[in-house]
Amino acid sequence: MDGSRQQVDESQDPPSSGLVIRASYRQTVRICLSAGLTAESAEDVAQDIWEWLIRSGRPIEDVTAPWLGSVVRNFVMRYRRRQSVLARREGRRLDRVPEPEAPESAARIESRELLDHVASILPETERSLLTLIRRGHSLAEAARLTGIPRGSRAYFHGRLIEYARRELSGRPEGTRGASLRARRPPL
């Protein structure tokens, strides 16, 4: 009987270790991808896992799917921790930094021109008040710097708004900066 048993064992050709390695490597990469890693990161982690398996001396044939899944999850968590530590230590990668924006949009330039035009028609006190506000001062600071008494701040602020509204309402919609563009010297 032992002889027949040996014949049966010899007749069944076990799967080659190369096929087992390729299948488990593909499974490792799939688990990494399902854990949310990018394709490149999944390949890196899979290579790290197989390097660890080879160094540990564990027989490749003994690698089971549940055990390999647990190992992959541990390696993925370790990879994420390492990436977050690197990100904190070194900052963002250059390809993750947003591109600088254009210096100014056309709408902002037009509003600046409109404010310049409104400032040119204002009386001196309101003009200096608007200039300080445009430089970043609050209304209270601008009024103090121009010497406007505390009780008159609301009056001058109201006049500023009134001049601006009058200037805006005097032009049809969509042509607010037209007269300013017409006065611009050609390039």
pLDDT tens, 4-36? 444 444 444 455 667 777 887 888 888 888 888
Residue with tokens 């854990």: 35
Please count the CA atoms within 13 angstroms of the CA of 108 that sit on its side-chain side: 4
Higher pLDDT, 168 or 14: 168
Helices (H) and strands (E) in the chain, counts: 9, 0
Higher pLDDT, 60 or 38: 38
Task: Calculate what percentage of the chain has a pLDDT beyond 90.
Answer: 0
The conformation of residue 100, written as its DSSP 8-state character, comes to P
Residue 85's CB: how many other CB atoms inside 10 A? Answer: 10
Q: How confident is the model at residue 177 (pLDDT cuts 50, 70, 90)?
A: very low
Mean pLDDT of 130-147: 87
Per the document, the length of the chain is 187
pTM given for the model: 0.39
Residue 8: the pLDDT is 44
Mean of the per-residue pLDDT values of the chain: 75
Residue 108 scores a pLDDT above 70: no
